[in-house]
Amino acid sequence: MSLLKRASAIEEEMIAIRRKIHENPELAFKEFQTTALLEKELKSYGIETRRNGDQTGLTGVLKGAKPGKVIGVRGDIDALPVPEDTGLPFSSKVEGVSHACGHDINCTTVLACARLLSELKDELSGTVKFIFQPAEETLSGAASMIKNGVMEDPKMDAIICVHTWPEMPGGSIGVRRGAMFAASDRFKITIRGQGGHAAHPHRSIDPVVVAGYLITQLQTIVSREVAPLDSAVVTVGKMTAGTASNIIPNEAVLEGTVRTLNKETRKRVHESLVRIATHTAEGLSATAQVEYVTGVPPLVNDDFLNDLVSAATVELLGEDNLLEVPVASMGSEDFAEYMEFIPGAAIRIGTYDERPESKGALHNSKTVFSEKAIMAGAVMLTGTVFKFTGSDFSKLL
Ligand code: NI
């Protein structure tokens, strides 16, 4: 039987599972029911399962009949603190929580791939790890899975993932060469001056004025130090200072985020931020102490994997369903954490259809998703696994 026939035979069942997950959304590290449901399904396909330590999330391990390479396929499972307002009959039953980012679709797509590959086990060379990751929205789930041993036993040679995308039609696959998501780092600058009476500034060192200079000077990092065709963001999102209009405070604090698309720029922006903060403060007789917290790394897709995904998509779903994601996102994706160890590729699955609300933004309470994405994504993943492990691809046609 062709892979497309197998896929259409299980589509209805997979959509029912997606709707069940959609109705019962769970926030980061609270995905207890979702984990249990996925575990039960994987077991029913004869796939070995492993829990993510004592945290939510799990991994399914499927060994093919023949030896070969090991590939990971990751879907995230957490929901958002967004009340659902879609009017769908299977809307969230949980007050204030919904799958507004489509992680119900992502994990069902990986589950459908697991089901298809379990049926094709005799044709499979190598091993597949199905990684159902919690807490993507808080950018902390990948780290928890790595800490709990997901990279080991067996070690993976590569990893791929899917994510819904409302800017592409349901049934299409979106790939991108190179940078896909940005690194996300945080900073906190504590400026110390000397407090005093607002009417006698010459007897004080005003940290509020230093903060004012800094907010604008930090923007010169992007405009003057990052190459015009590279991308970076420096945003001061929070400023705290003072208690009253007639008092110069001792201290002012700036907090913000830095986004970059490659490791060199990431390092450069970090160094520049520290340099500008400390020397600007010094020039104005104050001091600035910078706390810089590095978060998720930049996500740069592997060319070889990207080509495999493209080839599998064209051969199984047709050329029309392969689309190029035109630009990287300055948002972040903690899938990049796994890619610190092994090559990877993040793939978009298109989710718009004839409903106007399906073209809405991710994280919006009204956005709906085309369920065509599930089997299209599962077919693409299955084909990519076959290509990567060197299994006989003709068995899928
Ligand atoms: Ni998401």
| 384 contacts 308 by C-beta, under 8 angstroms | yes
Residue of 343, 392, 397, 394 whose CA lies nearest to 66 = 392
Mean pLDDT of the chain: 98
**pLDDT of the residue at 120:** 98
Helix (H, G, I), strand (E, B) or coil at 9: helix
Cα 366 to ligand 1 centroid, rounded to whole Å: 15
The helix or strand, by DSSP H or E, that contains position 152, with its residue range, turns out to be none
290 φ, ψ (degrees, to nearest 5)? -110, 125
Structure token digits, residue 321: 């369903």
163 and 199, same domain (yes or no):
no
Helix (H, G, I), strand (E, B) or coil at 261: coil
Cα 135 to ligand 1 centroid, rounded to whole Å: 10
Tell me how far apart the alpha carbons of residues 266 and 372 are, in angstroms, rounded to a whole number.
37
pLDDT, tens digit, 9 for 90 and up, residues 268-319: 999 999 999 999 999 999 999 999 999 999 999 999 999 999 999 999 999 9
Among candidate residues 252, 271, 294, the one where a domain is terminated: 294
Say which CATH number the domain at 144 has. Answer: 3.40.630.10
9 and 147, same domain (yes or no):
yes
Structure token digits, residue 347: 């793939």
Cα 368 to ligand 1 centroid, rounded to whole Å: 14
**pLDDT of the residue at 286:** 98
Q: Angle CA(109)–CA(300)–CA(310) in degrees, nearest 5?
A: 50
Cα 333 to ligand 1 centroid, rounded to whole Å: 8
Cα 3 to ligand 1 centroid, rounded to whole Å: 27
131 and 167, same domain (yes or no):
yes
Cα 28 to ligand 1 centroid, rounded to whole Å: 12
Q: CB-side exposure of 132: number of CA atoms within 13 Å?
A: 37
CA distances from 161 to 224, 309, 377 (A): 35, 11, 10
141 and 248, same domain (yes or no):
no
Q: List, in order, residues 6 or more apart from 333 with CB less than 8 Å away.
A: 136, 163, 180, 181, 296, 299, 346
Among candidate residues 294, 319, 344, the one where a domain is terminated: 294
74 and 172, same domain (yes or no):
yes
369 and 340, same domain (yes or no):
yes
Among candidate residues 233, 264, 294, the one where a domain is terminated: 294
| 188 contacts 255 by C-beta, under 8 angstroms | yes
Through-space distance between the first and last CA atoms of the chain, rounded to whole angstroms? 8
145 and 18, same domain (yes or no):
yes
**pLDDT of the residue at 68:** 95
142 and 212, same domain (yes or no):
no
Cα 328 to ligand 1 centroid, rounded to whole Å: 15
381 and 254, same domain (yes or no):
no
Cα 332 to ligand 1 centroid, rounded to whole Å: 9
| 358 contacts 368 by C-beta, under 8 angstroms | yes
**pLDDT of the residue at 369:** 98
Domain of 142? Answer: 3-181+298-396
Beta bridge partners of 374: none
Tell me how far apart the alpha carbons of residues 175 and 134 are, in angstroms, rounded to a whole number.
24
Tell me how far apart the alpha carbons of residues 96 and 68 are, in angstroms, rounded to a whole number.
45
Cα 78 to ligand 1 centroid, rounded to whole Å: 8
380 and 312, same domain (yes or no):
yes
**pLDDT of the residue at 93:** 98
319 and 374, same domain (yes or no):
yes
pLDDT, tens digit, 9 for 90 and up, residues 173-226: 999 999 999 999 999 999 999 999 999 999 999 999 999 999 999 999 999 999
**pLDDT of the residue at 206:** 98
**pLDDT of the residue at 393:** 97
CA distances from 189 to 146, 220, 223, 260, 302 (A): 31, 17, 20, 19, 35
Q: What is the pTM of this model?
A: 0.94
Cβ burial of 291 (10 Å; 0-12, 13-18, 19+) is: exposed
**pLDDT of the residue at 76:** 98
Residue of 320, 316, 380, 349 whose CA lies nearest to 168 = 349
Say which CATH number the domain at 274 has. Answer: 3.30.70.360
Q: Tally the domains of the chain.
A: 2
Cα 103 to ligand 1 centroid, rounded to whole Å: 6
371 and 230, same domain (yes or no):
no
**pLDDT of the residue at 249:** 98
Tell me how far apart the alpha carbons of residues 53 and 221 are, in angstroms, rounded to a whole number.
42
Cα 136 to ligand 1 centroid, rounded to whole Å: 7
**pLDDT of the residue at 55:** 98
CA distances from 149 to 126, 197, 299 (A): 20, 57, 21
Q: How confident is the model at residue 347 (pLDDT cuts 50, 70, 90)?
A: very high
